Amino acid sequence: MARASDTAGPVINVQDYGARGDGVSNDTLAFHAASQALQEAGGGTLVIPRGTYIVGLQTHGLTPDHPNPGYRNTAVPYWKQHPIIELRNVDGVVIEGNGATLRVADGLHYGGYDSVTGEPITETPEPNVFNPQLAAAIGSLITINQSSHIIIRDLELDGNVDKQDIGGIWSSHGRQLPASGIQLYNNRFVRIENIHTHHHALDGIIIGWTNLTVDDPPTPHVLVNIDSEYNCRQGLSWVGGRGLTAINCKFNHTGRAVFGSPPGAGIDIEPEVSVCRDGRFVNCQFINNNGCAIVADSGDGGYTEFINCTIWGTTMWSVWASKPGLKFEDCTIHGSIVHGVGSDDPDLATQYRRCHFEDVDYQDKGCYRSTALVIHSGDNVLFEDCAIIANKTKACYVDYPNHEIFRRCRITHRWTDAPDHTFQSIFRGSHLEEVSFFESFDPASADKRFSIIADGVTIGAGNHVAGPQTKWGNWSWGSVGDVPPTSNVDTPADPEL
C-alpha cells in the first residue's frame, strides 16, 4: 500500500477550488471540481483541511451534463443528485481528511417521489418499485470505481439522515438508493482508516466488484479503526471481492436512526453477480443492529473469519450463517444464532472455536432470544472449546439429521422459567465429545425437572451431566453424571412436549 509521500501526481486542496468548510456554505461543487482535477491527473492527493464541509446537492430540470447518461436531457426524476467526490480509473490516490467532517446538507430528498410534482409517493405499485423516474438519491460522499492503490483516512462522514426529507418506498422493500458514506466498486489495494461514517440513508461503507470470479486475482481492501453506526441499511455491505480485512472496526446500531431498510445488518456478505472470498474481521464489533448482526445468506459468498469479535443481536439473530466457509474464533456472541452450513469438507462447514455464547441484554435494548441460544445444523458444523450459557431460553436446539460436532464445550442451563418437564437442550444426529452440562436454577424452580434430549447421536468420551434437575435423555428416567460412550443413543421424546 502506497504512502502519501509515495503517491505520484498533484496535491490538490479542496479549498483552492472554493470549499469553505465553515459548516454553512454548500461545498458540493468545490469537492466535485477538486476530484475531477485529480481524475484528470490520473491520481494524486486530495487534501481536505480540518473543518465542517456541507455537501450534497439536488436539482430539478434538464441536466445534459448529469454523470448518469440515463438521466441526461430529461426532467425526471424530479430530484437529481449532484456528484460530490467521484473518481474512476485512477492509480494512486490519497484522500487526506485531517480530521475534517463532511456533512450532508439538510433537507435533501431521499426515496420515492412523484416525477411531476416532486412530492413523496405514498404507494408503490409493483411495476413501479424500481422505476428510476420516481427515484431521489442523495449519492455517496466518496465514490471510487475501477481504481487502485487508494488511501482514505482521518474523516468524519455524516449522512445527517435525521434532517433529510424522506420520501416513499423505492425498491421491493425499504429505500435502496445511493446514499452511503463510501462506495467502492472494482478497486484493488485499498486502505481506509480512522473513519467515522454514520447516519447515512443507505450504508456506512459499501464494497463490491461486479463479475468477479474465484479465478480472478485478489482485490485487497483493508479497513482499520472504522466506526460505522446508525446507518439505515448496513454498517458494511460487502457485495463482491477477494480479500477484505477489517481491524478494530465497529458496525453498530444499523436501522436505529429515523428509518431502516432491510437487511439492517452490521455486515451483510451478499455478492451481487460476483463472489466474496477471504474475508477477515479482527477485534470488531457488531452490536444492536435492527437486523442480524452478521448475515451471509445469498450469492456466492461466506468464506470469512471473525476473530475476537463482539457480536450482539438485540432484535434479530446475532449470526445468520447460510453460506460456507464462515469461521468464528474467540468471539463473544450474545443473542441466538441460526443456520450453519454443513460440508463433507470440514474446512467449509461453519466453525465456532473458543467462543462464548450467552443471552445477555445490551443496555436497555434487550437480547434476541429464539427457541434456543444455538440453533444449528449441518454435517461437520463444529463447536469446539465453547461456553454456551442460556439464561432465559434453551441452550441448544440441534434438531436435524446431520452430524454436528460439539467438542470440549461447557453448556450451562439457567432458564428457571422453562416449563416443567421440558428439555433445556436437544441434539439429534450430533456427535458429543468431552461436553459438560451444568445447571444454575433459581431455588424457586427446585421442584421442576428438565431433560437433555439426544436422538441418534454418537457419544464420545468425557461427557458429563451435573444435574440434578436436568437429566440426560428424559426428565423422569434419565441419568446424571458421566454419559457412557456409545455409537448411538435413541431416547424417545418427552411425552409432554
What is the chain's pLDDT, residue by residue, as a tens digit (497 residues)? 443 445 678 999 999 999 999 999 999 999 999 999 999 999 999 999 999 999 999 988 655 565 556 555 556 688 989 999 999 999 999 999 999 999 999 999 999 998 888 899 987 666 667 888 889 999 999 999 999 999 999 999 999 999 999 999 998 788 999 999 999 999 999 999 999 999 999 999 999 999 999 999 999 999 999 999 999 999 999 999 999 999 999 999 999 999 999 999 999 999 999 999 999 999 999 999 999 999 999 999 999 999 999 999 999 999 999 999 999 999 999 999 999 999 999 999 999 999 999 999 999 999 999 999 999 888 899 999 999 999 999 999 997 777 899 999 999 999 999 999 999 999 998 999 999 999 999 887 888 999 999 988 999 999 999 989 999 999 999 999 999 888 454 444 443 33
Q: What is the pLDDT of residue 27?
A: 98
Which residue has cell 491527473? 41
Q: What is the pLDDT of residue 74?
A: 56
Residue 359: φ, ψ to 5°: -85, 100
Residue 70: φ, ψ to 5°: -65, -15
Look at residues 190, 201, 196, 129 and name the one whose alpha carbon lies nearest to residue 163. Answer: 201
Region at 386 (left for phi over 0; alpha for psi -120 to 50; beta for the rest): beta
Q: What is the pLDDT of residue 486?
A: 80
Q: What is the pLDDT of residue 106?
A: 98
Residue 380 in grid coordinates: 461437520
Residues whose CB falls within 8 Å of the CB of residue 486, separated by 6 or more in sequence, listed in order: 458, 459
Q: What is the pLDDT of residue 494?
A: 42
Q: What is the pLDDT of residue 48?
A: 98
Amino acid type, 45? T
Residue 95 in grid coordinates: 484522500
What is 4-368's CATH topology?
Pectate Lyase C-like (2.160.20)
Q: What is the pLDDT of residue 353?
A: 98
What is the Cα–Cα distance from 201 to 198, expressed in whole angstroms?
Answer: 9
What is the Cα–Cα distance from 319 to 297, expressed in whole angstroms?
Answer: 11
Look at residues 21, 200, 211 and name the one whose alpha carbon lies nearest to residue 97. Answer: 21
Residue positions counted in the chain: 497
Q: What is the pLDDT of residue 497?
A: 33
Domain ranges of the chain: 4-368, 371-497
Look at residues 243, 197, 199 and name the one whose alpha carbon lies nearest to residue 108. Answer: 199
Residue 226 in grid coordinates: 472504522
Which residue has cell 455486515? 267
